[in-house]
Amino acid sequence: MSLLFPSIKHLAPAHYVGGILVLCLLMVIYGGSLLAVFYQGEAYSWQSLWQDSYLYQVLRFSFWQASLSAGLSVLIGLFFARAFFYQQFKGKLLLLKLFSLTFVLPSLVAIFGLLGIYGSSGWLAQLLTYLNISWQPNIYGLSGILIAHLFFNIPLAARMFLQSFHSIPNQQRQLAAQLNIQGWQFIRLIEWPYLRQQLLPTLVLIFTLCFTSFAIVLSLGGGPKYSTLEVAIYQAIIFDFDLSKAALFVLLQFIVCFLLFVLSSMFSKLPETHLSFRELWFAKQKSAVKFWQILMIAIVSLFILSPLVHIVISALVAKDALHAWQDPQLWRSMAYSFSIAPISALLALLMSIALLALSRRLAWFYFEKLAHLLLNLGMLVLAIPSLIVAIGLFLLLQHIEFSSAHLFAIMVLCNALSAMPFVLKILAVPMNMNLQYYEKLCQSLGIKGWQRFRLIEWHTLAAPIKYAFALACALSLGDFTAIALFGSQDFSSLPYLLYQQLGSYRGDQAAITALILLLVCFAMFVIVERSYIPTEEKPND
């Protein structure tokens, strides 16, 4: 029996020390921050919280907009992924890169582009005026929030469903063609068993992202009527300075997100697949199916790419471009952003690898539930706003005379924690597969520690690590939550500067700032995804 269920004492210190330190760090940071926020404010009970009518309004809208956003994103993303998978065309890989870019594009950059398309003086309004149509688009309120969430989450859903389509073996498609299984029966018998594994995790992830949305709702909500819990937390801190109420809102948000993660874990299992590099076989499609798939690709691509095109055109035709480039605030913000992003990404990578090393070792020794719990704890970082961590750390260290260096450290830590769930998701499968493939070989050869990582694991982890680093870098570069509390003329970032420029209607300067963020994020993905995205497959009729 001891051979089947080894004791945890068989774990070498190198296998668990780093992961335990990361867990302790997470508990200290989040627990300490919440306690600091609680004790700083006045007493605020759960009973008084539930008697607050504003809370019910916020909860109703949070669930409603997150449900709409997640449902539409998953539905459209699934249809687009299927069309994108089966159709071959020039520029397919570039389009996939651009879709990956939108997920990590700073929220305020996307908002600037969406305002240029759907705003009161945007491209759509100008087109309707030219066609003598009296109806005008309204980008503020629920409609604007939905548009922004669809812009970010349709590419995310499509990318996740593409993994499922790539995991279907060629033999199953060939057998279905021989048996003349087509249409709905092909979807039900061949595709659905792979798609359903990804459906609930994708829905839960997008729902959580929309439920905890901050910058989008803050910018496009248009008033207290359209506030989510995350925005209500921000308002409780900034406008009322009711820290206890904000902390209770955080706990409520954490409970909701925790239940969602538990639900996802109970009823779903993420497929251990990635976009395949193998040559794929496709049966010849009917003309009607091909037409509708091309139409779906064209409509979704127009929706995603038009805001990006507007950003580029606005920056190129900006009348005040020279003055914008000469603004010292722009260069100061660039210096802070380009310094914070790589350090945050490196910290997120180190913490994620340490946590995954512990988790996979526990799974190897049959402590699978404990290993799964550790990963869920890492993912639940999404449920606690980084602004609470930032204000909590500020309160814990308030006896220190804060300088730009202290704020810099807080920003690095908050951004690293925010990026950590996504890094975990990228590295979990390849690290677990490495353990399964090479553990006995490494034991027999006595390869341990750094030598094992360098000689054995790096060749399979290099591409995911580079991709995760670029993703964490881009997420940190576009983060607006923590800087919204501490931003000033002396300590700023590019998203904070863009928010100020949009608020003061400095459109030309905002266009330059948005273009810088867009180009930097795009450059990182062009460099890194070259080794991560598969080569284009050609169909065999």
Confidence class of residue 246 from pLDDT cuts 50, 70 and 90?
Answer: confident
Considering only residues 476 and 182, tell me which one the structure prediction assigns the higher pLDDT: 476
**Measured between alpha carbons, how far is residue 256 from residues 136, 142, 263, 376 in Å?**
37, 21, 11, 14
Contact 19, 357 (CB under 8 A): yes
CATH for 320-534 (1.10.3720.10, 3.30.230.10, 3.20.20.220, 1.10.357.10): 1.10.3720.10
CB 485 within 8 A of CB 387: yes
Sign of the C-alpha dihedral, residues 22, 26, 29, 31? negative
Q: Classify 446 in phi/psi space as left (phi over 0), alpha (psi -120 to 50) or beta.
A: left
Position 154 pLDDT exceeds 70: yes
CA angle 364, 369, 372 (to 5 degrees): 85
pLDDT at 419: 86
CB neighbours of residue 34 within 10 Å: 20
Q: Is residue 1 predicted with pLDDT exceeding 50? A: no
Question: What are phi and psi for residue 4, nearest 5 degrees?
Answer: -80, -35
Query: How confident is the model over 416-440, as pLDDT tens digits?
Result: 888 888 888 888 778 777 776 666 6
Q: Is the dihedral of CA 534, 536, 540, 541 positive or negative?
A: positive
Q: How far apart are CA 418 and CA 210, in angstroms?
A: 15
Instruction: Choose between 533 and 264: higher pLDDT.
Output: 264
Q: How confident is the model at residue 218 (pLDDT cuts 50, 70, 90)?
A: confident
Whether the model pTM is above 0.75: yes
**Mean pLDDT of the region 310-328:** 80
Band of residue 343 on the pLDDT scale cut at 50, 70, 90: very high
Average pLDDT on 45-67 reads: 78
Which amino acid type is present at position 465? I
What is the pLDDT, as a whole number, of residue 461?
A: 77
Q: Sorting pLDDT into bands at 50, 70 and 90, what band is 360?
A: confident
Mean pLDDT over the full length of the chain: 77
CB contact set of 502 (below 8 Å; sequence gap of 6+): 108, 111, 112, 115, 219, 510
Residue in this structure with the two tokens 């680093």, named with its chain if needed: 469
